[in-house]
Amino acid sequence: MRIHARHLTNEVRIEKHESHPLRYKGVLFRFGEISHNRTMVRPGARVRAAGDAILVDHEYPDIESYKPYGRILAFYKKDDALLIEFELTSPEAAKLVENGERNFLSVSWFSDGYEVKEDPQRGPYLEFYDIVIYEASLVADPAFNTCVATSEDGLACLSSSVSPAKPNECQCKEKSVSLSDMAYKHQEVTREEFEALKEEVKQALDSIAVLAAEVKALKEAISTPPTEVVAELKQAKKKLEQLELALSNQANEVSNVLQMASKLLDITDRTYKNLQNLLAK
């Protein structure tokens, strides 16, 4: 039997609503470019990724409520630049980009692979040859010459000429950052976890020290018990010796009783066997 939709008495039209993430292209940095934080990714450096999060200003409330504003779909190299394709699932973040409030990128990485170099004009900087990217953020004040657009054609920073020895040509403020600060800039998460771990280790060591002191006091108390305890122990020992002696005496008495009983059993047995002879007489 065919049932036509017009025959249904409760016809409900259901519309499917989906949020369509907005996709963008972005430049993270140029290889060989010295940033305003005096960091550089060496041409030919090894670049890996351990995360795909897009944040805003590298911030989130806390790790329990960690929620990126988008995600990186791809990393790829074009000429001397490292580009990403990413999507924003947050309308607020997309609005920041469209309004020009956060239309640059800043990248964070882990790395122990770097060398300290010296630039004649800009002074010392860190040259990284092995990095692991763990997030990128939308920012208003980038360190590298970066930009964001809906397509590669709109990436204006790709067409600007940036020399590794010159400041970046994006509208960034020159930042005063010490070399020691730079060494930790891209390892903030690790450092925070390490500090928390150090605090936990310190608390554990303090607890162990308290426990050790208690054990020491207990050992001293056992090795040198109070006078009244010694007296009680001596009295208890004496009572145990008396009890042992009493039990020994009782054992001897029981043994004698058993021997007498055995003799009586023997006499009874002999009497029973000779009972007929005695009666016959």
Could you tell me the residue ranges of all domains in the chain? 22-183, 187-224, 227-280
CA distance 225 to 144: 73
In single-letter form, the type of residue at position 109 comes to W
Reported confidence tier of residue 12, pLDDT bands at 50, 70, 90: very low
Q: Which residue has the tokens 């980009």?
A: 97
Burial of residue 272 (CB within 10 Å: 0-12, 13-18, 19+) is: exposed
Reported confidence tier of residue 277, pLDDT bands at 50, 70, 90: low
Given a contact cutoff of 8 angstroms between Cβ atoms, the answer to whether 113 and 131 are in contact is: yes
Mean pLDDT of the chain: 76
Cα–chain center distance at 179: 28
pTM for this model (two decimals): 0.52
Given a contact cutoff of 8 angstroms between Cβ atoms, the answer to whether 112 and 120 are in contact is: no
pLDDT at 88 (0 to 100): 94
CA distance 96 to 150: 14
Reported confidence tier of residue 85, pLDDT bands at 50, 70, 90: very high
pLDDT at 163 over 90: no
Give per-residue pLDDT as tens, 89-110.
Answer: 989 999 999 999 998 999 999 8
Q: Report the share of the chain in percent with pLDDT over 70.
A: 67
CA distances from 153 to 24, 224, 234 (A): 11, 87, 98
Select the more confidently predicted residue: 165 or 199.
199
- Structure tokens, 50: 């351990």
Mean of the pLDDT values across residues 198-202?
Answer: 73
Q: Which CATH topology does 22-183 take?
A: Serine Protease, Human Cytomegalovirus Protease; Chain A (3.20.16)
Phi and psi of 125, rounded to 5°? -150, 165
Q: Report the share of the chain in percent with pLDDT over 90.
A: 35
Reported confidence tier of residue 276, pLDDT bands at 50, 70, 90: low
Select the more confidently predicted residue: 166 or 121.
121
Reported confidence tier of residue 35, pLDDT bands at 50, 70, 90: very high
pLDDT at 6 (0 to 100): 41
Select the more confidently predicted residue: 94 or 217.
94
Q: 86: part of which helix (H) or strand (E)?
A: strand 81-88
Mean of the pLDDT values across residues 164-172?
Answer: 42
Give per-residue pLDDT as tens, 248-257.
Answer: 777 677 677 6
Reported confidence tier of residue 28, pLDDT bands at 50, 70, 90: very high
Contacts of 82 (CB under 8 A, 6+ apart): 27, 28, 29, 30, 31, 41, 47, 75, 76
CA distance 273 to 222: 68
pLDDT at 7 (0 to 100): 41
Cα–chain center distance at 231: 56
Select the more confidently predicted residue: 177 or 76.
76
pLDDT at 87 (0 to 100): 95
Mean of the pLDDT values across residues 107-127?
Answer: 91
CA distance 133 to 135: 6
